[in-house]
């Protein structure tokens, strides 16, 4: 009988052509999908590929997305984007999504992520794809160029930390709150580990909320984050015209009973309050009550982790019938053009704009310190993004607090950090 294995060990064993892999072993794996964006991809890859005298190992398995420098705000940005488009043409890239949104969401929008894949991405938040039962990890430009050329990479098989979430999230509490609390609990230095999320709470979560868990495995310092595929996964992909070919095989990827984990954290989230991370680290987190009253200049709803359709719905639930406080800027940058279309169709955008929000183009934008929405010296912002490191969103002495879309929208309406649950209950009572 096969030795029990974790989800991550099963995926990597298949990719390595082995019956079994164990944490710490150095293995070479075949990559199923290589992804990069306009900042990390072609402008870094081309010189190395030219020096090697080679092309892409399989242009159909290479995905490029323009999301950092779009739309171009200066000549330098325009030149970078011109180079990306030329690379796509010259190297025959099979899938290029130009100005369609942030790559981490564009890929699932198009159903390109399938259970069991190994995905290599030129961005630290590549683990977001692990929500589909993949091993997805971020790599630097040199490693990504080698992967693009060969379709392979080596790695040390990571240990698996299992996080089991039980209970029931309160209204106004979301996956983002769970992750901020985990950043505080587990810290930001979980190198050579993958985080597997499980439990009844995860089983009930939508795919976008599972994506939040896996995305922010990067903030935990982990190599990847994973959720075992299930009926929720299959339904999401089927809706996008990419049904899972073998659901039984996908279900069999789940960690076996008796599989060995480096640690198991069992957490009851029933009493979890909305969480806020204070400057300048996601681990600098506490209940919202610890920060109530902090006056803000800007509220930002954006990024791969914080501007999906469900995130915009959360913000609209808070802001329906309300206005942004005087002197506060509420900026909304939907994570993809598909998100914008859905939000428009549902009336979510109408609600946000009626409240005084300013709509920005889809892209990484201010989350990564690009384009519109960066902060001036001394300004205070609450953001639905995943990081609040010093200087990331603008001036080095700007103050960035992190929260869920509920918390960001409530702060925008109040002009200061507040508990969003009061805004939800007040809205429901009025209705």
Claim to verify: residue 348 and residue 420 sit in the same structural domain:
yes
> Does any domain span residue 338?
yes
Using a 10 angstrom Cβ sphere, with 0-12 exposed, 13-18 middle and 19 or more buried, the burial of residue 25 is middle
Q: Order the strands of the 159-166 sheet from edge to edge.
A: 224-226, 193-198, 159-166, 263-268
| Structural domain boundaries, residue 174 | 10-268
Q: Is the pLDDT of residue 345 over 80?
A: yes
200-245 pLDDT per residue, tens: 999 999 999 999 999 999 999 999 999 999 999 999 999 999 999 9
Other beta carbons less than 10 A from residue 286's beta carbon: 15
Q: In what helix (H) or strand (E) does residue 332 lie, and over which residues does it extend?
A: strand 329-332
Please give the distance of CA 181 from its chain centroid, rounded to a whole number.
Answer: 16
Report the b/e string of 399-410 with b at 16+ CB within 10 A: bbbbbbbbbbbb
- The answer to whether position 285 is within a domain reads yes
Hey, CA dihedral for 379, 380, 382, 386, is it positive or negative?
A: positive
In this structure, the answer to whether residues 170 and 250 fall within a common structural domain is: yes
Number of domains in the chain: 2
Give the Å distances, CA to CA, from 345 to 52, 340, 349.
Answer: 48, 9, 8
Same domain, 42 and 133: yes
pLDDT at position 1, please? 65
Q: What percent of the chain has pLDDT over 90?
A: 93
Residue partners of 239: CB distance under 8 A and separation at least 6 = none
pLDDT at 427 over 80: no
In a domain, 4, yes or no: no
Q: Where is average pLDDT lowest: 124-133, 208-217, 350-359, 383-392?
A: 383-392
At 34, which CATH number? 3.30.499.10
Based on the domain organization, do 249 and 283 belong to the same domain? no
Q: Do 190 and 47 share a domain, yes or no?
A: yes
Residues 182 and 91 in one domain: yes
pLDDT bin (cut points 50, 70, 90) of residue 366 is: confident
Q: Examine the domain organization and report whether 199 and 101 are in the same domain.
A: yes
Asked if the model's pLDDT at residue 429 lies above 60, the reply is no
Q: Is 102 in the same domain as 149?
A: yes
Are 194 and 175 in the same domain? Answer: yes
Are 309 and 338 found together in one domain?
yes
pLDDT (tens digit, 9 = 90+) per residue, 22-37? 999 999 999 999 999 9
Summarize the confidence of residues 347-366 as an average pLDDT: 94
For residue 368, whether the previous peptide bond is cis, meaning omega lies within 30 degrees of 0, is: no
- Residues facing residue 101 across a β-bridge: 336
Same domain, 240 and 207: yes
Least confident piece of the model among 362-366, 409-413, 425-429: 425-429
| Cβ atoms 198, 227 nearer than 8 A | yes
Here the tokens at position 381 are 């912002």
Residue 5 maps to a domain:
no
| Assigned domain for 431 exists | no
Of 235, 268, 301, which marks where a domain is finished?
268
Kindly state whether residues 235 and 372 are assigned to the same domain.
Answer: no
């Amino acid at each position: 009988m096969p030795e029990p294995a974790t989800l991550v060990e099963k995926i990597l064993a298949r990719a390595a052509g082995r019956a079994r892999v164990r944490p710490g072993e150095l293995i070479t794996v075949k990559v199923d999908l290589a992804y990069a964006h306009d900042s990390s991809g072609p402008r870094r890859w081309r010189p190395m590929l030219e020096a090697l005298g080679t092309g892409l190992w399989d242009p159909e398995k290479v995905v490029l997305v323009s999301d950092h420098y779009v739309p171009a705000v200066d000549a330098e940005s325009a030149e970078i984007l011109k180079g990306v488009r030329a690379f796509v043409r010259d190297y025959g890239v099979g899938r290029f999504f130009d100005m369609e949104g942030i790559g981490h969401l564009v890929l699932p929008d198009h159903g390109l992520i399938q259970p069991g894949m190994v995905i290599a991405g030129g961005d630290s938040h590549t683990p977001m794809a692990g929500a589909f039962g993949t091993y997805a990890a971020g790599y630097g430009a040199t490693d990504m160029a080698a992967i693009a050329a060969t379709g392979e990479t080596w790695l040390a098989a990571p240990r698996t930390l299992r996080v089991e979430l039980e209970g029931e999230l309160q209204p106004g509490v979301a996956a983002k709150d769970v992750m901020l609390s985990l950043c505080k609990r587990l810290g930001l230095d979980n190198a050579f580990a993958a985080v597997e999320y499980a439990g009844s709470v995860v089983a009930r979560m939508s795919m976008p909320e599972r994506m939040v868990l896996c995305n922010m495995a990067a903030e935990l310092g982990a190599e990847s984050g994973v959720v075992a595929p299930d009926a929720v996964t299959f339904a999401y992909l089927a809706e996008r015209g990419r049904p899972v070919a073998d659901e039984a095989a996908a279900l069999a990827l789940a960690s076996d009973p008796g599989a060995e984990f480096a640690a198991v954290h069992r957490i009851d989230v029933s009493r979890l309050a909305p969480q806020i991370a204070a400057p300048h680290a996601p681990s600098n987190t506490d209940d919202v009550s610890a920060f109530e009253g902090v006056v803000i200049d800007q509220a930002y709803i954006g990024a791969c982790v914080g501007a999906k359709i469900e995130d915009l719905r959360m913000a609209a639930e808070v802001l329906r019938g309300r206005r942004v406080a005087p002197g506060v800027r509420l900026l909304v940058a939907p994570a993809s053009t598909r998100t914008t279309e859905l939000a428009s169709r549902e009336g979510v955008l109408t609600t946000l704009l009626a409240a005084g929000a300013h709509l920005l183009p889809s892209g990484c934008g201010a989350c990564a310190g690009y384009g519109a929405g960066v902060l001036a010296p001394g300004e205070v912002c609450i953001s639905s993004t995943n990081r609040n490191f010093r200087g990331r969103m603008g001036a080095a002495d700007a103050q960035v607090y992190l929260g869920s879309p509920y918390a960001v929208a409530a702060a925008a309406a109040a002009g200061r950090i507040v508990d969003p649950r009061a805004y939800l209950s007040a809205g429901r009572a009025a209705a």
